[in-house]
Amino acid sequence: MTKIQEFNELHSSQELLFIGNAWDLLSALTLEKVGFKAIGTTSWGIANSLGYADGELIDFERHLGIIQTITENVKIPVSADIEAGYGEDSKTILENILRAADVGVAGINIEDSLKKQKGLRKLNEHCHLISEIRMALDNHGYKDFYINARTDTYFQMENPFFETIKRTKAYVESGASGIFVPGLMDDDEIKEITLNVNAPINVLSLPGLTNCNKLKELGVKRFSFGNALSDKILSFLEKNATQLMELKDTSFLYED
């Protein structure tokens, strides 16, 4: 079974896919070691680890290098968060996605946010892009490659529910394998979207939205924690580094 087939099966299982979000090789290996069935890279975590803010500010070549290091060293499927595609035109975006597929990822997250200004891509433009992505992947031997179409309606709109339904249905019809709706938190809205959209729904862990079993009952198929773990580890590092400077003593580093 290929990694692409394995990744698709994880989304069609009766179990919710709790995906481990990694930002470098060590984090990916650790997540694999403790039992996560798949890795999803976090663009925020990768950017942070290199001293940048999120938002496609690092060079794609550098980003891809980290992704490749992960895919070459873990045995489980890897999905790459490539934000809006790291390109101003569809040709560049398609090339970047094919390069990600070539280094061994089983899927991608591709979002509909604009990068240089607030707002979302026009619906017809983003649907056309998803169709082009699917066609390019199929034509290059990556049949059933997992396209997780992310919509940022809940981050960008005051009343996002109906626009979310409209966009996500259109994205699936255009070739998306699954749908990612970060910011979706209301139980009733989660249930409605899982019932009305004919694809696995992925939600993002946020304060108040944390329990896998509850999300499974609502129909969610995939649960991500994004940059929350990398942020937690950075906070822990800063706290302990501060303590070292204040105490001028390293003994606490050896305590359980």
- Residue 230 main-chain phi, psi, to 5 deg: -65, -40
122: which residues sit within 8 A by CB, 6+ positions away? none
Segment 130-149 mean pLDDT: 98
How confident is the prediction for the chain on average, in pLDDT? 97
Task: With respect to residue 220, please indicate whether it lies within any of the assigned structural domains.
Answer: yes
Task: With respect to residue 39, please indicate whether it lies within any of the assigned structural domains.
Answer: yes
Supply 206's token pair: 């946020």
Instruction: Count the helix, strand and coil residues of the chain and give each as a percent rounded to the nearest 5.
Output: 50, 15, 35
Q: How far is residue 169's CA from residue 11's CA, in Å, rounded to a whole number?
A: 18
- The domain of 154 spans 3-227
pLDDT, residue 116, reads: 79
Query: Binning pLDDT at 50, 70 and 90, where does residue 117 land?
Result: confident
Q: How many residues does the chain have?
A: 256
For the chain, how many structural domains are there in total? 1
Query: Binning pLDDT at 50, 70 and 90, where does residue 57 land?
Result: confident
CATH of the domain at 127: 3.20.20.60
Return the percentage of the chain with pLDDT > 90, whole number.
93
pLDDT, residue 56, reads: 76
Task: With respect to residue 148, please indicate whether it lies within any of the assigned structural domains.
Answer: yes
Task: With respect to residue 244, please indicate whether it lies within any of the assigned structural domains.
Answer: no
Q: How many CB atoms lie within 10 A of CB 12?
A: 9
Query: Binning pLDDT at 50, 70 and 90, where does residue 93 land?
Result: very high
Return the closest-CA partner of residue 194 out of 173, 179, 172. Answer: 179
Task: With respect to residue 248, please indicate whether it lies within any of the assigned structural domains.
Answer: no
Query: Binning pLDDT at 50, 70 and 90, where does residue 256 land?
Result: confident
Task: With respect to residue 82, please indicate whether it lies within any of the assigned structural domains.
Answer: yes
Give the distance from CA 151 to its chain's centroid: 11
Task: With respect to residue 246, please indicate whether it lies within any of the assigned structural domains.
Answer: no
